[in-house]
Amino acid sequence: MDKMVPFDMARKPSKQYPFLMPLVWGGSWALTRQFGLRIRKVNMEGIKPPFLVIGTHQGPVDYYVGPLAMFPHRAMYVSDMEGFAAFGKWLYRGLGCIGKRRYVSDISVVRNMKYAISIGQSVVVYPESRHSNVGTTAYIPKNMGKLAKVMGVPVVILAAKGNYLANPFWDEEHTRKVPVEVTMTCICDKDKLADINESELQSMIEEGLAYDEYRYQQENHILIKNPKRAEGLHKALYQCRSCEAKYKMKTSGDILSCEKCGASFELTEDGWLSREGEKIHIPDWYEWQRSNIISELKCTKEPEQDNPIREYKVSIKALANEKGFVEMGTGKLVLNRKEFILKFDDEKAYKSIKDKQRDDMSIHFPHINRESVQTEYNYKGTGMCIVLSTTKCCYYIYSDATDFNPTELQFIGEELYK
């Protein structure tokens, strides 16, 4: 099979294979024992499948929490193409997964979710679409209330606490022993669903998905004593709070420091960044960076829509289907106020693409089409990248440029989407 033939998103999903379920539940139970996982169910009396489960997506532990929360029932899971490539189409379909590309609108996904409901299967979806960068809720699409109304079944929120702390996105390779709590709450039963409007339901969903892992850590006196607990944090916190220099942050052990001004911040056992008696909340630092980018964008003159804001030499990998990644060679990534433009150097690689938009060796990704940008801090050990997708292919984009930071590009993409 041609590795660039697009995955068939329209194909109807399969129920989870019954013979796999003991392995799924048993494996999930075993993998969550170290966290002392507790699952609490609220307002679930009399709520029988199928229902729509909308979950927080803090980290990899979520993949094991879902099946345990659903036990003894099966469910179908909306999942990115990475899972199909990692486990193969047969197994991933057997686990009940519905294929999707992140931050790409595709009516096939909605149809497959509706099909799953029609055959009595609950559907689990993680609208944040990526693991949390700094332990707070990522962007929630504004159509979740509408989606829930379309599904026409009870709406359940699956909210986890501790998942991010156990595997922070900037260092998922090293697991911390942190208690994980999960609450499964029915926020809208089928009778209420008929009377509530989309806007009200959207607000209820967003409220149910709100979290701050560092607040949870501090309020519950959770101590993380890993001596290397800060390593990787500079990927999310790329701008110095002291001198405001960008791309000069580094981490070692429990210290986040700036190579330019020498300022250093200790990540304390209870989750603060501490310097000279000052305690900084990590999400506050993160949002401070976002506000700086927004200010920079506002200084850009509106008529200059096509003028580059950022420009990088990049290497490109493509993921069109479950057969795996295809090396696409090098190119250039250009970001302006209107779109991302990915330009290919390799003509042969470009010609293999099945969703070419034009003949200029480039693919265009308008900001208006995607509410966020997929960030990866160390995807499968290959380093930092961003992922831009069309309905037919995902493009993993890497750069060695010192000013290439996925977090910053995510901030820019989210702001220009607005």
Tens of pLDDT, residue by residue over 286-340, are 999 999 999 988 876 555 667 888 999 999 999 988 888 999 999 999 999 999 9
pLDDT at 380 over 80: yes
Exposed/middle/buried for 101, CB within 10 Å: 0-12, 13-18, 19+?
buried
Q: Which residues of 215-229 are buried (b: 16+ CB within 10 A; e: fewer)?
A: ebbbeeebebebeeb
Q: Measure the CA–CA gap between 280 and 369, rounded to whole angstroms.
A: 35
Do residues 253 and 346 both lie within one domain? Answer: no
Average pLDDT for 7-26: 89
| Helix extents (H) in 81-197 | 81-87, 89-94, 107-118, 144-151, 163-166, 190-193
What contacts 24+ positions apart, CB below 8 Å, involve 237-244? 237/134, 237/282, 237/285, 237/286, 237/289, 238/289, 238/405, 238/407, 238/408, 239/288, 239/289, 239/292, 241/265, 241/280, 241/285, 241/288, 242/275, 244/292
Of residues 1 and 54, which shows the higher confidence score? 54
**Inside any domain, residue 9:** no
Domain hosting residue 195, numbered range: 18-219
Average pLDDT for 363-377: 93
Peptide bond into 72 cis (omega under 30): yes
User: To the nearest whole percent, how much of the chain has pLDDT over 90?
Assistant: 74
**Inside any domain, residue 54:** yes
**Inside any domain, residue 11:** no
Question: What was the pLDDT predicted at 396?
Answer: 96
359 to 140, 349, 351, 364, 396: CA distances (angstroms): 35, 13, 9, 12, 21
Question: What was the pLDDT predicted at 321?
Answer: 87
Q: How confident is the model at residue 6 (pLDDT cuts 50, 70, 90)?
A: confident
Do residues 149 and 122 both lie within one domain? Answer: yes
Question: What was the pLDDT predicted at 235?
Answer: 97
112: alpha, beta or left? (left if phi > 0; alpha if psi -120 to 50): alpha
Question: What was the pLDDT predicted at 322?
Answer: 86
pLDDT at 358 over 80: no
Question: What was the pLDDT predicted at 150?
Answer: 94
> DSSP class of residue 341?
E
| 51: helix, strand or coil | coil
209 to 137, 265, 386: CA distances (angstroms): 7, 30, 24
Tens of pLDDT, residue by residue over 47-89, are 999 999 999 999 888 989 999 999 999 999 998 888 787 777 8
Q: How confident is the model at residue 394 (pLDDT cuts 50, 70, 90)?
A: very high
Tens of pLDDT, residue by residue over 143-179, are 999 999 999 999 999 999 999 999 999 999 899 999 9
Q: Measure the CA–CA gap between 312 and 325, rounded to whole angstroms.
A: 22
**Alpha carbon 257 to its chain's center:** 27
Tell me the backbone φ, ψ of residue 339, rounded to 5 degrees: -170, 165
pLDDT at 241 over 60: yes
Average pLDDT for 254-275: 97
Do residues 97 and 163 both lie within one domain? Answer: yes
Do residues 184 and 105 both lie within one domain? Answer: yes
Residue 367 CB neighbours (<10 A): 20
pLDDT at 115 over 70: yes
Average pLDDT for 196-212: 96
118 to 78, 114, 135: CA distances (angstroms): 16, 6, 35
The pair of three-digit structure tokens given for residue 404, joined into one six-digit string = 């290439």
Average pLDDT for 247-275: 97
Structure-token match 């949390």, residue found:
132
pLDDT at 409 over 60: yes
Query: How many structural domains comprise the chain?
Result: 3
Tell me the backbone φ, ψ of residue 389, rounded to 5 degrees: -130, 150
Sequence-separated (6 or more) residues with CB below 8 Å from residue 336: 305, 306, 307, 308, 309
Question: What was the pLDDT predicted at 270?
Answer: 96
Give the largest Cα separation in the chain, rounded.
61
pLDDT at 35 over 80: yes
Q: How confident is the model at residue 106 (pLDDT cuts 50, 70, 90)?
A: confident
Do residues 284 and 411 both lie within one domain? Answer: no
CATH number at residue 406: 2.30.29.30
Question: What was the pLDDT predicted at 418?
Answer: 84
Tell me the backbone φ, ψ of residue 99, rounded to 5 degrees: -70, 140
Q: How confident is the model at residue 96 (pLDDT cuts 50, 70, 90)?
A: confident
> DSSP class of residue 307?
S
Average pLDDT for 115-130: 94
The total number of residues shown for the chain amounts to 418
Do residues 210 and 79 both lie within one domain? Answer: yes
Q: What angle do CA 380, 384, 387 make, to 5 degrees?
A: 85
Taken in order 371, 101, 21, 172, the sign of the CA dihedral is: negative
**Inside any domain, residue 142:** yes
Q: Measure the CA–CA gap between 339 and 366, rounded to whole angstroms.
A: 4
- Angle between the 62-70 and 21-32 helix axes, to the nearest 10 degrees? 120
**Inside any domain, residue 350:** yes
Judge contact between 247 and 238, C-beta under 8 A.
yes
Judge contact between 397 and 342, C-beta under 8 A.
yes
pLDDT at 92 over 90: no
pLDDT at 354 over 60: yes
Do residues 136 and 35 both lie within one domain? Answer: yes
Do residues 291 and 322 both lie within one domain? Answer: no
**Inside any domain, residue 5:** no
Mean pLDDT for the chain? 92
List the beta bridge partners of residue 125: 54
Do residues 252 and 386 both lie within one domain? Answer: no
Do residues 90 and 187 both lie within one domain? Answer: yes
Do residues 253 and 199 both lie within one domain? Answer: no
Do residues 321 and 294 both lie within one domain? Answer: no
pLDDT at 350 over 70: yes
Q: Measure the CA–CA gap between 114 and 49, rounded to whole angstroms.
A: 14
Question: What was the pLDDT predicted at 210?
Answer: 96
Average pLDDT for 182-204: 94
**Inside any domain, residue 150:** yes
**Inside any domain, residue 140:** yes
